[in-house]
Structure 1
Amino acid sequence: MDDTPQPVDAKTLKFLRLLVTVLTATMILGLLVIIALFVIKFSETRPDLPDRIVLPDGAKATAFTQSDTWFAVVTDDDRILIYNPTTGTLVQEIEVIAGE
């Protein structure tokens, strides 16, 4: 048995080189598109945050979320404070009980 590899045609090598080049260009272009989409998405205008939120004594905010009719602040002492967006008054307080 002869284990000598057969010679590869020059046209096949040129075709493979072209395929690799096109794949590389496609991957680079795709990466640039994804980066552009991230930049566009995260540079959009931010929601209007309240000018001032009065938290109960000793509470520190760890998260904030809002809708059209309320906004909520999650505090470091495991509470969710729901506020009225127009008056800024505390509407509801929810104590979060974390499971062990």
Structure 2
Amino acid sequence: MDMDDTPQPEALPPNLKLLRVLVTVLMVTMIAGFLVIVALFVIRMPGGGTLPLPEAVVLPEGARASAFTRGRDWVAVVTEDDRILIYDAATGALRQTVKITR
């Protein structure tokens, strides 16, 4: 007769084995999904090329800039007197003036 008093580990119930497998599969799936998302961001990001900007933009006399934005081949300055001045991005020449009315 064996009189060893050391406890023997019991096998996991079948429900817990299934749960352990499901959690492991979920973890692997989430890691794979995260890697796919990171890869898509890297692949789809633009090359980081900069848009051309003019060296200087000359505002009309008395105009003060309050906002600035740029497009592919133009830059726009919004002035405090409610005008939008659109300049050519390559040359800095004024293309168009738009008056904002209230």
Query: Structure 1-normalised TM-score?
Result: 0.57
Matched, 1:95 2:99: yes
Change (3 A) 1:96 1:30: farther
What 5-or-longer segments of structure 2 have no aligned partner?
Answer: 1-11
Task: Kindly provide the CA deviation profile for residues 76-97 of structure 1, in whole angstroms up to 9, marking residues without a partner as x.
Answer: 6354332234543111122345
User: Contact 2:85–2:94 at 8 Å: present in 1 too?
Assistant: yes
* Aligned equivalent of 1:62: 68
Aligned-partner residue type, residue 62 of structure 1: F
User: Contact 1:62–1:76 at 8 Å: present in 2 too?
Assistant: no
What 5-or-longer segments of structure 1 have no aligned partner?
Answer: 1-8
Q: Which entry has the higher C-alpha Rg, 1 or 2?
A: 2
Matched, 1:44 2:47: yes
* Aligned equivalent of 2:3: none
The CA RMSD over aligned residues, in Å, is 3.1
Figure out how many residues of one structure are paired with residues of the other and give that number. Answer: 87
Task: Kindly provide the CA deviation profile for residues 19-75 of structure 1, in whole angstroms up to 9, marking residues without a partner as x.
Answer: 111112221222233234334444623243124241415325432222xxx413243
CA–CA distance in structure 2, aligned partners of residues 52 and 60 of structure 1: 19
Q: SS state of the match for residue 72, structure 1?
A: strand
Aligned-partner residue type, residue 81 of structure 1: L
Larger CA deviation: 19-28 vs 72-81: 72-81
CA–CA distance in structure 2, aligned partners of residues 64 and 21 of structure 1: 49
CA–CA distance in structure 2, aligned partners of residues 30 and 97 of structure 1: 50
Query: Structure 2-normalised TM-score?
Result: 0.57
User: Contact 2:64–2:79 at 8 Å: present in 1 too?
Assistant: no
Q: List, as ranges, runs of 4+ consecutive aligned residues in structure 1 with deviation greater than 6 Å.
A: none
Identity of aligned residues (%): 40
User: Contact 1:72–1:80 at 8 Å: present in 2 too?
Assistant: no
Q: Identify the structure with bigger relative contact order (alpha carbons < 8 Å, sequence gap 6+).
A: 2
Change (3 A) 1:36 1:45: same
